[in-house]
Structure 1
Amino acid sequence: MPPDKCVFRVHGLGADPGGMQAPPRPVGTLLSVGYDQMWIASLQDDVDVTVLLEEWDAHPPPGPEPWEEESEQELYLRGAVAISTSAAEPVLHGVRLLGGVGRYRVRVRARYRTEIARLYDGLLDRFRSGFSQEFQAALRELQGVEHYLVQLWPSAPTGPQRVVADSAFDPLTAPAAALPVPAPAEETGPLPALPETPEPVSD
């Protein structure tokens, strides 16, 4: 995909890149993160990059290959994730997440980010015309070499979980031991009547 204006966006469905919850463009960093979207920065905007997207059940292993840069953040996703350019053009339409709606940890790893920017600047210095066959052939050698790995997994709960109600409970079929015990009659019946006070007898 082309890193238009040196960035691309990973976001949930309905995330507004111009909304109040949208993060600013990254400056000097790999990521800029908001509530339901993040910007990922490249150091150039003319050479296509490769983006790999993975969903995991839990924190993924480190992996055998080294990565030059890495950052881990958190996003709220509404059951799907998408990738778009800086102009909001979809590159990867909403992909359904098996983890459903909720908060996700997101780990972004980058490789050859600095090197591709350096090599591309070298091409601009070496060739007078960017339309020459020699320049285009050299540019094709750089396409897709810059890699980004985006890994998502559900965030761990931050507190104890409490069951409010069991939707599978059926009082008609549940055993007697599972049925709620009624309160004693004296606690549920009407209040006892007070004895009437006899009227005083006048002489």
Structure 2
Amino acid sequence: MTSSTADHPQMPVEDFEELARSAPETVTLEFINGKKLEVKPGPDGDHGAIIMWLLECCMQQRPDLRLYPEQGLKAETYRKGRARPDGSLAPKNHFVGQGEWADPDGVLMTVEVTSHDADTDPRDRDEKRDGYAAAGIPVYLLIDRDTCTVTVYSEPRNGKYPVRVSHPYGTAVEIPGPVGITLKTEELKDYAR
């Protein structure tokens, strides 16, 4: 039995898109590294509060941008993956007319907030990070609730983010250009469990 990879996917991306369209609204599917990933439905309240906190931070410092929750993106090399980041930072109205799976060109930053499930490690810390790097998204922000850290990945090259800077909750986190904002993360301590 062969394993699924980006070179030998479980199914063609078009079949995945059809499967995702027909999935119930309570289930979100992603296609990373050639395999279908089921994302747990209904993030908990702390997860939602973190996304709202980040949305407010972004709009206060960059009113020209919007943090779009759960916008489907064509990720990975040659846009063969399909991911739904917890947030995609892009110019206002950037995704208008693009449909369910948008091209990542013009997205300045993707965001993932870890969930407390077994798939978080490979999904958020590895697979999605590498997919966003391969798509050329300039910044990947990982808010890791297991380690109470905020990690900024940047300067994508050859499908990887060579620059990685982690900060504990409570510190000021500089998000490099083209985003160019500072996150004061003291509030994240309120959502640590």
TM-score tier after normalising by the smaller chain length:
under 0.3
> TM-score, normalization: structure 1?
0.22
> TM-score, normalization: structure 2?
0.23
Computing the radius of gyration from Cα coordinates, the structure with the larger value is 1
Between Structure 1 and Structure 2, which shows a larger proportion of helix residues? 2
